[in-house]
């Protein structure tokens, strides 16, 4: 979903949903605490330039074993 929104491999995430991120643990906590959301605004730096991305998380399909 992040790649589809335009986030690239070497982008540095600095903010998720309005909360500052300084390391991967911060990012995991924010995403885990908001796992029911289907949309996130993420700010990242690419080559020193700050950028904003709207990430849509696809809904999981409910399946049944028949």
Whether 62 has a pLDDT exceeding 70, the answer reads no
Distances (CA, A) of 31 to 49, 60, 64: 23, 16, 27
* Alpha carbons 33 and 16: distance in angstroms, whole number: 12
Q: Does position 50 have pLDDT exceeding 80, yes or no?
A: yes
Q: What percent of the chain has pLDDT over 70?
A: 89
Q: What is the pLDDT of residue 57?
A: 75
Q: Is the pLDDT of residue 21 over 70?
A: yes
pLDDT average, residue stretch 6-21 = 90
> Residue 24 corresponds to which tokens in the numbers above?
């991967």
Residue 5 has pLDDT above 70, yes or no: yes
């Amino acid at each position: 979903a992040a790649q589809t929104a335009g986030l690239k491999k070497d982008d540095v995430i600095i903010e998720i949903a309005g909360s500052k991120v300084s390391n991967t643990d911060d990012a995991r906590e924010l995403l885990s605490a908001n796992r029911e959301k289907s949309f996130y605004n993420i700010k990242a730096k690419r080559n020193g330039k700050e950028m904003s991305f709207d990430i849509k998380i696809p809904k999981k399909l409910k399946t049944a074993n028949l």
